[in-house]
Amino acid sequence: MKKKITLLTLTLTLLVGFANAQEWEFGAFIGPAQYQGDLSKQQITWKYTRIQGGVLARYNLTPKISFKGGLNYGLVKGDDQAWGSKLSSTFKQADYPVNNGINKEANYYDRNKRNLNFHSAIIELTAQVEYNILNFIPGSKNYRWTPYLLAGFSVFHFNPKTELNGTTYKLRGYQTELNKPNYSLISFAIPTGFGIKYNFGRLWSVSFEIAGRKTFTDYLDDVHDAYPMLSTDATTNKLSDRSGEAINPATKQPYPQFGILKSPDTHTPHKIIRGDYRDKDTYIFTGFTITKTIRKFVCANF
């Protein structure tokens, strides 16, 4: 009999908790946006950090599980100049051909010579599941904060652009690489991350989260594989090979215009590498949310 009473008590407790947790939260999200790919030095590059924000709705299924949907708008940017051109007095250009990648100085040299950059707006529709490490019930005195993990699925729109001589160009429309496809500007991503929530003022909550989006595309920055051959279109050449705008740190002189595209190696497919096709691009949305819980009845005694 005692076992039945205990089981009944536990069942009722779980049902009450489940009923209390079935509620909606609505709010906004804002914070920095960052990019990681062929044109980034590292995952967190503050100089090229931009802003993002959006709106969200969260359905609290149980004190442990929440479902979240959001519409976000963010800006991302990448630039080879993030690497700088730090070379020692013993550096010899002939010892480090382009894309050699032998050591750190070779990377500085290669990135400085490639001299590519891009920026893009990202419009994202995302659906995520949040797992609360601790029980979390908005309006509760005892369950008002928790760290949490998140994972989900996103669809997003992007459009890589760059500036050249004061004019903005949409890069997808130019043959900046060998065998470059007319890639889609809509792609998918897998967001994963973590955060912490805190409830205050009964039905108001704040949270801070970091979530990277591993995309299904390597063209977020319009850099993927090999340089093309020299084109009859001057604008295409300038957007593909921008080394002529950079200063050679070894000689302190500008590189020759279209020096990479004029190389005999560009006539051999995949001979001169422009990007790393083996890895997809990533963008990271970090920020704060503020939400209000919509509930018919408020109980703060648990």
- List the one residue out of 72, 86, 266 whose CA is nearest residue 179: 266
The rounded distance, in Å, linking the Cα atoms of 24 and 30 is 20
Q: pLDDT tens-digit profile of 126-148? A: 999 999 999 999 888 899 999 99
The rounded distance, in Å, linking the Cα atoms of 112 and 114 is 6
Apex 238 CA angle, 233 and 241, nearest 5: 115
Average pLDDT over residues 267-275: 87
Per-residue confidence (pLDDT) for residue 62, from 0 to 100: 95
- List the one residue out of 63, 70, 40 whose CA is nearest residue 137: 63
The rounded distance, in Å, linking the Cα atoms of 271 and 122 is 32
pLDDT of 201 over the 80 cut: no
Per-residue confidence (pLDDT) for residue 139, from 0 to 100: 85
3-class DSSP state of 183 = coil
Report which secondary-structure segment, H or E, holds 106: helix 104-114
Per-residue confidence (pLDDT) for residue 147, from 0 to 100: 98
- Compute CA distances 271 → 79, 174, 180, 264, 280, whole Å: 23, 20, 15, 9, 21
pLDDT band at 94 (very low <50, low <70, confident <90, very high): low
Residue 7 lies in a domain: no
Residue 2 lies in a domain: no
Q: Distance of alpha carbon 194 from its chain centroid, rounded?
A: 15
Per-residue confidence (pLDDT) for residue 60, from 0 to 100: 94
CATH number at residue 172: 2.40.160.20
- List the one residue out of 125, 280, 145 whose CA is nearest residue 200: 145
Residue 72 lies in a domain: yes
- Cβ atoms of 40 and 279 within 8 Å: the answer is no
Residue 6 lies in a domain: no
74 φ/ψ angles, rounded to the nearest 5 degrees: -140, 160
Q: Distance of alpha carbon 227 from its chain centroid, rounded?
A: 25
Average pLDDT over residues 147-163: 98
pLDDT of 88 over the 60 cut: no
pLDDT band at 21 (very low <50, low <70, confident <90, very high): very low
pLDDT band at 106 (very low <50, low <70, confident <90, very high): low
pLDDT band at 90 (very low <50, low <70, confident <90, very high): low
- List the one residue out of 5, 8, 126 whose CA is nearest residue 58: 126
pTM: 0.85
Residue 123 lies in a domain: yes
pLDDT of 174 over the 70 cut: yes
Residue 10 lies in a domain: no
Average pLDDT, the chain: 86
Per-residue confidence (pLDDT) for residue 301, from 0 to 100: 52
Per the structure, the complete domain to which residue 155 belongs is given by 23-294
Per-residue confidence (pLDDT) for residue 270, from 0 to 100: 80
Per-residue confidence (pLDDT) for residue 299, from 0 to 100: 54
Residue 3 lies in a domain: no
Record the tokens describing residue 2, joined without a space: 């005692």
Residue 140 lies in a domain: yes
Q: Which amino acid is at 256?
A: P
pLDDT of 181 over the 80 cut: yes
Residue with the bigger pLDDT between 99 and 136: it is 136
pLDDT band at 23 (very low <50, low <70, confident <90, very high): confident
3-class DSSP state of 273 = strand
pLDDT band at 22 (very low <50, low <70, confident <90, very high): low
3-class DSSP state of 266 = helix
Instruction: Give the number of domains in the chain.
Output: 1
Average pLDDT over residues 193-222: 95
The rounded distance, in Å, linking the Cα atoms of 19 and 207 is 23
